[in-house]
């Protein structure tokens, strides 16, 4: 049983902030059903889904994604050599199997690494990054079968599909670079070098930009998708631990930046100034954002809570609620029914927070 935590009251200003926006354009990552509102999580609590093949140290997970086309959550489960695919209606777990793994030693313990990131491509395709063999593979989202793969000379971290250029952009922080792949062949087209380790990703088709952070420099970069040149550098002020995940509120021009204990909003449409911030508790890595509801979701693994905040028309963030999860639960993916899935690697599970209304 997961204990409840005190939740912040839903302020009138939250409702006003949500009501003053128009509907956002649909995107491949956006839910297809009616979006949850600020009141949806008033009495929400957390449950969990146990994942198959857990080792003594759990199931190694990082970036997960909701696929609105199949209404499934894709969770690369590194040490099991599989990607777990959860049907949000039944919560049954299917698997994409056959990924490579390799053994590494961390803190004196041997562990296996494998698939670690998933991203939506064109309809029919989900891309999976694999630290086991430094590959990126296209997976058939209906048949759950691995198709074309490309192998890099550095381990992939985050991956994102860029529809405008039909490319897959892959952060490879071990050698301070981003790799640009052809989305069909997954052959490398370019390597973009940086003076720091890229972390996080967001694609802004409106401004023809790709955003990433330099985690070790506490910087956020805007990169032109055509020239692949850095066109803006901003200082989010996350501190020594640096900025992590990114999401873009594209129509408004707001870049949402995850720090390890707060979430900030930068003015990506102008000068990158910090417009808003909300405290989350410690242990945040990646985040999620739903344009239709203007809700931001941040899972704090160390604080064991999910913070939901409303993004206002000026870029301000207003807390909506905080819900107890489990130690280690972070990197949320929000499904079209409003359920929030958070990987908890140490527990070998996905923690699920479902809306109460």
User: What pLDDT was estimated at residue 55?
Assistant: 92
Please state which CATH number belongs to domain 12-353: 2.130.10.10
Q: Specify the 3-state DSSP secondary structure of 59.
A: coil
Per domain, the residue ranges of the chain are 12-353
Tokens, residue 181: 């792949």
Per-residue pLDDT of the chain (357 residues; tens, 9 = 90+): 333 333 333 333 443 444 433 333 333 444 345 677 878 898 999 999 999 999 999 999 999 999 999 999 999 999 999 999 999 999 999 999 999 999 988 777 888 999 999 999 999 999 999 999 999 999 999 999 999 999 999 999 999 999 999 999 999 999 999 999 999 999 999 999 999 999 999 999 999 999 999 999 999 999 999 999 999 999 999 999 999 999 999 999 999 999 999 999 999 999 999 999 999 999 999 999 999 999 999 999 999 999 999 999 999 999 999 999 999 999 999 999 999 999 999 999 999 999 986
Q: Which pTM does this prediction carry?
A: 0.90
Instruction: Return the structure tokens found at 177.
Output: 């670079």
Distance CA(13)–CA(20), nearest Å, equals 11
| Cα angle 340-201-213, degrees, rounded to a multiple of 5 | 120
For residue 279, is it left (φ>0), alpha (ψ between -120 and 50) or beta?
A: beta
As a whole number of Å, the CA-based R_g of the chain is 19
CA proximity to 6, closest of 301, 305, 277, 352: 305
Residue 55 to residue 265: CA distance in whole angstroms: 38
């Amino acid at each position: 049983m997961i204990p409840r935590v005190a939740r912040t009251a839903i302020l009138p200003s939250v409702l006003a902030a949500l009501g003053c926006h128009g509907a956002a354009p649909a995107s491949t990552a956006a839910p297809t059903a009616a979006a949850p509102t600020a009141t949806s999580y008033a009495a929400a609590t957390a449950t969990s889904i146990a994942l198959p093949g857990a080792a003594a140290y759990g199931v190694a997970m990082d970036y997960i994604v909701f696929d609105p086309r199949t209404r499934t959550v894709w969770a690369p489960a590194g040490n099991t050599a599989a990607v777990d695919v959860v049907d949000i209606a039944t919560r049954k777990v299917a698997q994409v199997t056959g990924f490579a793994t390799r053994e590494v030693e961390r803190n004196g313990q041997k562990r296996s690494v494998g698939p670690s990131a998933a991203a939506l491509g064109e309809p029919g395709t989900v891309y999976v990054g694999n630290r086991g063999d430094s590959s990126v593979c296209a997976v058939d989202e209906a048949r759950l079968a691995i198709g074309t793969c490309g192998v890099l000379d550095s381990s992939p971290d985050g991956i994102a599909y860029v529809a405008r250029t039909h490319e897959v952009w892959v952060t490879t922080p071990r050698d301070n670079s981003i790799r640009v792949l052809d989305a069909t062949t997954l052959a490398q087209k370019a390597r973009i070098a940086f003076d720091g380790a890229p972390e996080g990703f967001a694609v802004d088709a409106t401004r023809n930009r790709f955003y990433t952070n330099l985690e070790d420099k506490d910087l956020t970069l805007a990169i032109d998708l055509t020239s692949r040149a850095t066109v803006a550098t901003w200082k989010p002020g996350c501190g020594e631990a640096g900025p992590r995940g990114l999401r873009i509120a594209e129509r408004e021009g707001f870049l949402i930046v995850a720090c390890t204990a707060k979430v900030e909003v930068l003015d990506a449409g102008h000068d990158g100034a910090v417009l808003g911030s909300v405290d989350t508790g410690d242990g945040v890595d990646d985040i999620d954002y739903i344009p239709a509801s203007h809700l931001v979701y941040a899972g704090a693994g160390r604080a064991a809570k999910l913070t939901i905040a409303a993004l206002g028309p000026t870029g301000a963030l207003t807390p909506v609620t905080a819900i107890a999860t489990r130690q280690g639960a972070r990197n949320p993916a929000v499904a079209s029914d409003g359920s929030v899935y958070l990987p908890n690697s140490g527990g070998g599970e996905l923690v699920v927070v479902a809306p109460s209304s």
